Amino acid sequence: MPVNALYYRVLPDISGTAYDGTAGVNSVRLYIKDNNTGNYFGWSGSQWNFGLGSVNWLPPSGGTVVDWTYTGYAAQLTDGHSYTVVTKSSDNAFPTNDETFYTVGKNTMTFIYDTNLPTATVTLPNLQFASTLPLISGTARDSLSDIGSVEIAIQDLSQGVTWYNGSGGWKDSGSPWIAVSTAPGNPPTWSYNSTLVPWSQPKQYRIFARAKDNAVDATTPSNPNMQVVYSSVTVTFDLEKPTAAVTYPNYGGSNIINTIPVITGTAVDWPAGIDQQNVFCGDKRS
């Protein structure tokens, strides 16, 4: 640990093993380099930090010589920086044989420290009212380890703490989060087929989205960086057709008039309200 070429959000210790089949292992040393600054971890005169300009070999801080660990550096890691850990061992022969060949993925490991939170945003629905909603979609962004997954939750605001269960019904307990499909892009996109959601009028729904990235927590499996301030949209379902009525002229179909200075009327719709009205005038003589 660490595994080469991974992104880590939590890496409290570096660990490894050493082996020598003849004389046995005498000692292990390692160094940690900040590839962004070119500096090495060690005692800088007042504190332990990445303040050394040359290679600084460190002894393990725990374990045994053949199964060792090193701690004390984690608080000095910087988000977005790349780090390389190099180890070497020496045996008990006289004079000592030192490890001199360095292999990436074996005794040379590079990782990126990633504590940046990803974000997912709902882009559809994008209006306050909807009469149909077969698809919910959006975008997601992460600046380092990229998007690992996106989840949504759909709340029925008319029923208190009631959530869509992912299979055509509602529930009031358990996790409300539902995994959605993601696609690569710039930015990546996500979508969810919502045809099974039992939308009904005139209920109001709130749709939440959250993203997770690919960073590794070395202490807890499947615990990447996760969005904590969720994106959300609120939509009201509206299946009611609007109605309009003419109030002037109001003489009825059998009356004849020679002038109509203005045509007036009323229009009603709930819950979305009236967006526009259209008037058609026709000649009934034919």
Query: Is the residue at 282 inside a domain?
Result: no
Name which of 221, 7, 213 is nearest 119 in CA terms.
213
The β-bridge partners of 226 are: 212
Are residue 142 and residue 213 in the same domain, yes or no? yes
Same domain, 140 and 225: yes
The alpha carbon of 154 is separated from its chain's Cα centroid by a whole number of angstroms, namely 17
Number of domains in the chain: 2
Long-range contacts of 219-224 (CB under 8 A, 24+ apart): 219/10, 219/12, 220/10, 223/10, 224/9, 224/145, 224/148
Q: Residue 94 domain-assigned?
A: yes
Q: What is the pTM of this model?
A: 0.84
Last residue of a domain, one of 220, 237, 254: 237
Same domain as 29, residue 76: yes
Taking the C-alpha atoms of 181, 220, 146 and 185 in order, what is their torsion angle to the nearest 10 degrees? Answer: -10
- 197 and 87 in a single domain? The answer is no
Q: What is the CATH number of the domain that holds 96?
A: 2.60.40
Backbone dihedral angles phi then psi of residue 159, each to the nearest 5 degrees: -125, 30
CA-nearest of 80, 99, 101, 100 to 34 is 80
- Residue 286 located in a structural domain: no
- Reading the chain (286 residues) residue by residue, the pLDDT tens digits are 999 999 999 999 999 999 999 999 999 999 999 999 999 999 999 999 999 999 999 999 999 999 999 999 999 999 999 999 999 999 999 999 999 999 999 999 999 999 999 999 999 999 999 999 999 999 999 999 999 999 999 999 988 789 999 999 999 999 999 999 999 999 999 999 999 999 998 899 999 999 999 999 999 999 999 999 999 999 999 866 666 667 667 766 556 666 777 877 766 555 555 566 666 666 665 5
Q: What is the DSSP string of 95-136?
A: SPPB-----BTTTEEEEEE--PPPEEEEEES-SSEES--SEE
Interatomic CA distance for residues 177 and 187, integer angstroms: 22
276 occurs within a structural domain: no
CATH code for the domain in which residue 215 is found: 2.60.40.10
Length of the chain counted residue by residue: 286
Please tell me the distance from the alpha carbon of residue 275 to that of residue 127, in angstroms, as a whole number.
Answer: 13
- What are the structure tokens assigned to 39, written together? 């500096």
Report if residue 157 sits inside a domain: yes
Give how far Cα 136 sits from Cα of 118, 207, 227, Å: 19, 9, 19
